[in-house]
Chain A
Amino acid sequence: MTAIDPTAHLTDEQIEDLGRELDAIRDEVIASRGEKDAAYIRKVISVQRKLELTSRGILLFSLFPPAWLIGTAGLSVAKILENMEIGHNVLHGQWDWMRDPKIHSTTWEWDHVSPADQWKHSHNELHHTYTNVIGKDNDLGYGIMRVDEDQRWHPMHLGQPLWNFINACFFEYGIAAYDLELGKNLRTKKRRKDPEFRARARAVGRKIRRQVLKDYVVHPLLSGPSFLTTLAATFTANLVRNLWSHSVIMCGHFPEGVAVFERRSIKGETRGQWYLRQMMGSANISGSKVMHIMTGNLSHQIEHHLFPDLPSNRYAEVAVKVKALFEKYELEYVSGSLPKQVFSAWHKVFRLSLPNRKPKVKAPAREKELVAA
């Protein structure tokens, strides 16, 4: 918990004004959604599918190093696009307004081991509603990390840089595990036996089987003599995609300057206060247009959290207006380049793996020490 409340200078009235101004921004985008936006998502989907097909085609000959390199690079990009700019955003319902049954949150399934319907529940309903509320938002440390000074330290946290790295490498499995709330559900016999939990676990099992069969059996087999090299290629592409999406997502809520909230602070929250929590609980990544697309426009994490169901291609224009509101209401708009934000987030993971120092010293001094170590 940030020691000083960065929103203390705002009156209740101002917070509701802020909410109304944000509602107006949202209404403007909704009123102007149209043909261009539809063409955009169809283009991204078409490019992604052609890139994946081509890359997998090239990987049939992955025994030849140049084919391996090109195919693996292409497949990595295709998998990143599929999860980030397409899957994540379609499953948010950002494109439901098109009424196209093939691009709809209720029919979409993604290249990920967590089945779409389970992910939608834990992500859209829990994470987006309870953003950065300790004990409510599983994204906050994924239940394995200490992400705020106010959380009690436990010796287990000494290992959290390692846990975080392993989670990054196998991120899609980590997500599947916490969509299942494995930690909580495996703890007691009663929970383990719960038929609803078992059904969901079986669904994840089926999804994992199909994903693994495709990437590590069928495609390598189709490659014939290139079996092993194609296997290595798909493994690498999944690893690259996992590391990338983990980094982007860490940048969204972990960097220094992002606030976390206590459970009781969200009791009776108004719409304006909810907006404010999203504003203070998220951070952006600056960069080029390609960079924004590759992050699934989660580089506009603040705007995404304010308006999770607006089409991702509109966040850039929304960001200009949102940033102006941050200035008007004298709030800090946390944003930085990818390397800077990744560093900042990891820094926090390392720092909080140790217990708080008593008496509290200034954070920068402590940070230097850790980096040196």
Chain B
Amino acid sequence: MTSAALRSRAWKLLELVTTPLLPSDYLDLLSPLRAGADLRGRIEAVHQETDSAATIVIRPGKGWRGHVAGQYIRIGVDVDGVRLWRAYSVTSPTSRADGRITITVKAIPDGKVSHHLVHRVQPGTVVHLDQATGEFVLPAAKPAKVLYLTAGSGITPVMGMLRDGGLSDVVMVHSAPRAEDVIFRKDLHDLVADKALTLVERHTDTDGVLDLAELETLVPDWAERETWACGPTGLLDAAEEHWASRGIADRLHTERFRPSVVVAGDGGEVTFGKTGKTVEADGATPLLDVGEQAGVLMPSGCRMGICFGCVTPLKAGAVRDLRTGEITEAEDGVLVQTCVSAAAGPCELER
């Protein structure tokens, strides 16, 4: 018998001892970060970056498989006793010696999780994690010339890339309302001093919002550069148009932090098959919210349609994508993102 088979046999025996619980239910009490546990992390420190942004230092559990610069993680935090999941970019370099990771969070208006993480969370708190994911990363073959086009908290995935280094010619155009709102301002200027970065810092309160036509003077060779853009919807929509108009859309990589368009239609009766709950939903409320309000245990993540942490089998009926208005009908194996889908007539989810 292989050692893996032996281990699984031993585990089965242990389950006979702990039934109806699992051995892990007891082990979690003693060691929530151990190998084999659900992935968790312990917050070790919170560093204030600006008035409304902080970097959270997390010691991930043994199961952490590492990340690629630019990727994000889903993090589950208990706020007022309720487990809420959000996605945040990893801002630490991949080579960090102590194995800790950091995320950097900007408190947004009415943002329950972001406010909690920036202003309230205490070191020692155990949080729930998912492995890093995301396509907003540098390719294995490093491009010769890079442009980072960012605004506000859109700087966070890019900071992870900057800290990883290894690029010879990097320009960054970053917008924020004022100098004191620029997250990582000191780190950026340190990189400039080391000649590792050319920085165009735009303070929109005084200089106005960046018009992409200005790139011609700010970064004359912008069109030759492989570009990574992250920031508010307006900036990304404009960038996509601008790059496309020059016929170089393939050189632009974007990451969105908000769903872009909201298309609402008629709602319908939503049935949660496993829990047997049925509720009436309108055509504008995401099914994720509908389920949570009905007390159904819904998986969730970014709540903006990027992370796929909420996907759920659609067993019957139809749903509408709130970003595009596109209708998805139930079929075997059809999964829908509940955070950006609303009922389009009666439908049934497997929850």
Contacts and interface: CB of A to CB of B under 8 A. Distances in A.
Interface of A: 33-39, 46, 49-50, 53, 93, 96-102, 104, 106-107, 109-111, 207, 210-211, 213-214, 218-219, 222
Nearest to A121: B276
B16 A99 contact: no
Interface string B294-323: 011110000000000000000000000000
21 contacts: A34-B80, A35-B78, A36-B81, A49-B25, A49-B29, A93-B295, A96-B295, A97-B81, A97-B82, A98-B78, A98-B82, A99-B292, A99-B298, A106-B296, A109-B20, A207-B20, A210-B16, A210-B19, A211-B19, A211-B20, A214-B16
A99 B84 contact: yes
A222 B297 contact: no
B278 to A, nearest CB: 15
Contacts of B295: 93, 96-97
Nearest to B275: A106
Interface in B54-85: 78, 80-84
Interface in B1-54: 16-17, 19-21, 25-26, 29
Given A98-B83, A218-B17, 12 more contacts: A33-B80, A38-B81, A93-B295, A97-B82, A97-B295, A99-B82, A99-B292, A104-B297, A106-B297, A111-B20, A210-B19, A210-B20
A144 B129 CA distance: 51
Contacts of B83: 98-100
Contacts of A49: 21, 25-26, 29
A96 B293 CA distance: 11
B246 interface: no
Interface residues of B, number: 21
Nearest to B295: A96
B275 A38 contact: no
Nearest to A100: B83
A37 B16 contact: no
A101 B295 CA distance: 12
A37 B81 contact: yes
B186 interface: no
A213 B297 CA distance: 32
Interface in B69-125: 78, 80-84
Contacts of A37: 81
Among all A-B residue pairs, the 8 with the closest Cβ atoms: A38-B81, A109-B20, A34-B80, A99-B83, A34-B81, A35-B81, A210-B19, A96-B295
Given A104-B297, A106-B274, A219 B17 contact: yes
Given A101-B297, A106-B274, A106-B297, A50 B29 contact: yes
A218 B16 contact: yes
A139 B296 CA distance: 28
B115 to A, nearest CB: 14
Contacts of A207: 20
B286 to A, nearest CB: 15
A53 B26 contact: yes
A120 B204 CA distance: 58
A35 B80 contact: yes
Nearest to A93: B295
| Chain A CB within 10 A, most for which of B82, B84, B296 | B82
Contacts of A98: 78, 81-83
Contact of A46 (B16, B17, B29): B29
Given A38-B81, A98-B82, A99-B292, A222 B17 contact: yes
Nearest to B298: A99
Contacts of B82: 38, 97-99
Interface string B219-257: 000000000000000000000000000000000000000
B165 to A, nearest CB: 39
A210 to B, nearest CB: 5
A213 B18 CA distance: 11
Nearest to B25: A49
| Chain A CB within 10 A, most for which of B25, B29, B84, B274 | B29
A214 B297 contact: no
Nearest to A110: B20
A207 B292 CA distance: 30
B174 to A, nearest CB: 36
B78 to A, nearest CB: 6
Contacts of B25: 49, 102
Interface in B113-148: none
Contacts of A104: 297
Interface in B279-297: 292, 295-297
Contacts of A213: 16, 19
A33 B79 CA distance: 11
B315 to A, nearest CB: 17
Contacts of A39: 81
Nearest to B274: A106
| Chain A CB within 10 A, most for which of B17, B19, B25, B274 | B19
A35 to B, nearest CB: 5
Nearest to A38: B81
Interface in B257-279: 274-275
A257 B81 CA distance: 39
Nearest to A309: B295
